[in-house]
Amino acid sequence: MKRLLLVTLLSATALFANAQVFNGLVKDAKTNLPLPYVNVGIIGKSVGTVTDSAGRYKINLAGHDADTLKLSMIGYVAQTYTVAGFVSANKQTILLQPSVTQLKEVKVTNKKWKEVILGNTSQSDNSNAGFANNRLGHEIGTVIKIKKSPTFLKKFNVHITNPPVYPVKLRLNFYTLKKGMPDQLLQNQNIYVDVLAGQKDIHVNLEPYNIYADDNFFASLEWIENSKGHGLMFTAYLSLFGSGAVIARETSQAAWEKEGIAGVAFNVLAEY
C-alpha cells in the first residue's frame, strides 16, 4: 500500500512539473495571424524566451507562481499575468492588441545638419564581448552619448570578431535611459538583423525608422531566433571607470545588469 501511495505521489509530482513547462501561441488580435519574435518572460527574473517564426513559445514557469509574466513587442499592447493565474487559466493562445503609436514631433528648420559618428568605432579582433550563448531574448548593448538634441540616427555599425558558421537572427533596439540603465524604446518598429554565415560586420540603415534621440541613449542587439552554433562576439574595448561597460539581460523581461569594465564597440552614424 505504501509503495502504491509513493508511486501515486511521484506520478502527481511529475504531472505538476510537466504542467509548469508551458507551451503557448501568440497571435495578432485583429488579424488572428501568429506573431513572431514576441518577448515572453517573468519580469525581473532570468526566465524568458521569444516566440518563434510561427508565434509559438515554450517556457518553464515552475516555482514562480507569485511572479508576473509579461508578453510584449513593439507595436502591441503588452499583457501581464500572475504566473499562478496564467497557468490555472491554461491560456494556450494569447491575443495581443495592436497599439496606436504617436510619432515624435520634430521641428524641421533650414539649418544645415552636421553628420557625426557616435559610440566606439574599433574593429579589432583581439578583444571581444557579446553573446556567450544563443539563449532567446538575451540582449546586450552600450550607452551612446549624443552631442546635441535632437539627434537623428542614420546607421548602426559593429564589427564581428568571430563570424558565425550558421545564419543568426537578431533584433536591434534603441532605448532612452533612466539612472544610466535602459528604459523606454525609442523606435516604433521592429528592426531585424540577419547575420549571414561568415559575415564580419553589421551595418543597418536606420533612416526608414525615423529615430530621434533627445539625450544619451542605449543601443542593443537581442538574440531572437534559435541557431546552430554558440554565441556571437563583437569588438570590445576597455571602458575607463566602467562608464561604457556592457549592459545586458539574460533573456526577455529579465533585469538589466552591468557586466565588467569592457564596452562593446557599437557606433551610430547620426546627424544633429
Q: Which domains does the chain have, with CATH numbers?
A: 18-96 (2.60.40.1120), 115-271 (2.60.120)
* 159 neighbors 118 (Cβ within 8 angstroms): no
260 pLDDT higher than 90: no
At CB < 8 A and 24+ separation, what contacts does 76-85 make? 76/28, 76/35, 76/38, 80/43, 83/42
Task: Return the percentage of the chain with pLDDT > 90, whole number.
Answer: 78
* pLDDT one-digit tens code per residue, 58-67: 999 999 999 9
33 pLDDT higher than 90: yes
* pLDDT one-digit tens code per residue, 74-84: 999 999 999 99
pLDDT of residue 228: 81
Q: Exposure of 235 by Cβ count < 10 A (0-12 exposed, 13-18 middle, 19+ buried)?
A: buried
226 pLDDT higher than 90: no
Between 100 and 74, residue with greater pLDDT: 74
11 pLDDT higher than 60: no
pLDDT of residue 106: 55
CA dist 152 and 200 (Å) reads 26
- H/E element, 88: helix 83-89
Mean pLDDT of 12-18: 40
Q: Edge-to-edge, what's the strand order for the sheet holding 93-96?
A: 56-60, 21-28, 93-96
pLDDT of residue 253: 98
pLDDT of residue 91: 87
Question: What average pLDDT is seen over the chain?
Answer: 89
